[in-house]
Amino acid sequence: GAERAAEIDYVFKVVVIGDSAVGKTQLLSRFTKDEFCFDSKSTIGIEFQTRTIVLNRKRIKAQIWDTAGQERYRAVTSAYYRGALGAMLVYDITKRATFDHVARWVEELRANADKAIVIMLIGNKSDLADKRAVSAEDAVEFAEEQGLFFSEASALSGDNVERVLEADRGNPWSGFK
Ligand code: GDP
């Protein structure tokens, strides 16, 4: 209601991008509801979910946007990026191609999003370490070259997901003063 809304000092828009099936929707559900949904279907129609975080004594509503499957048709529009302060660029550590495409997603961000956008590279599905196809070293090197923050995480186990949200660790809202 209006009373609750009045407690919010800022609203941040964060977009989640990356190839299809890397786990974007599941990460979003971990971030906002601390849930992993085993029978997740299409996300068409859901635009964003929110989670309130407290940073420097300000209540910030993180409005985290999902592509709703648009990436399947390479149809993520510039409207999706408009106003975003942060981006979570997700790949799947068990699928090399999803990491190889990360450079293309960075280009797309640089072309469409605000110049000051903070990008967090996330290697998802760290619970599947036995099927690993991308080393953490490769990802660290790429992230350093491109000036991105980086963390591996698992939407399934919840590992490191909170870390991505924490202040002062390098995350989509760490640039906020
Ligand atoms: P999206 O297309 O990027 O939104 O991907 P989804 O969130 O729909 O996930 C794609 C598939 O990967 C689904 O079968 C999920 O259950 C699975 N998945 C997502 N995150 C993880 C994870 O951290 N670990 C494992 N093992 N599977 C995951």
Closest ligand 1 atom, CA of 154? Answer: 23
Please identify which residue in the block is written with the tokens 């990436």: 71
Q: How far is the CA of 56 from the centre of ligand 1 (A)?
A: 33
Q: How far is the CA of 8 from the centre of ligand 1 (A)?
A: 31
Q: Is the pLDDT of residue 42 over 50?
A: no
3-state helix, strand, coil in the chain (%, to 5): 35, 25, 40
Write the residue with the smallest CA distance to atom 1 of ligand 1: 21
Question: What pLDDT sits at residue 76?
Answer: 77
Spell out which residues line ligand 1, taking CB within 6 angstroms. 20-26, 40, 124-125, 127-128, 154-156
Query: Distance of CA 53 to CAs 65, 134, 169, 174, Å?
Result: 16, 31, 14, 12
Closest ligand 1 atom, CA of 71? Answer: 2
Question: What pLDDT sits at residue 165?
Answer: 63
State the distance between the two ends of the chain, measured CA to CA, in whole angstroms. 27
Q: How far is the CA of 23 from the centre of ligand 1 (A)?
A: 3
Q: Is the pLDDT of residue 16 over 80?
A: yes
Q: What is the pLDDT of residues 149-177, one digit of tens each?
A: 999 999 998 888 877 766 445 555 555 54
Q: What is the pLDDT of residues 122-136, one digit of tens each?
A: 999 999 999 999 999
Eight-class DSSP state of 126: G
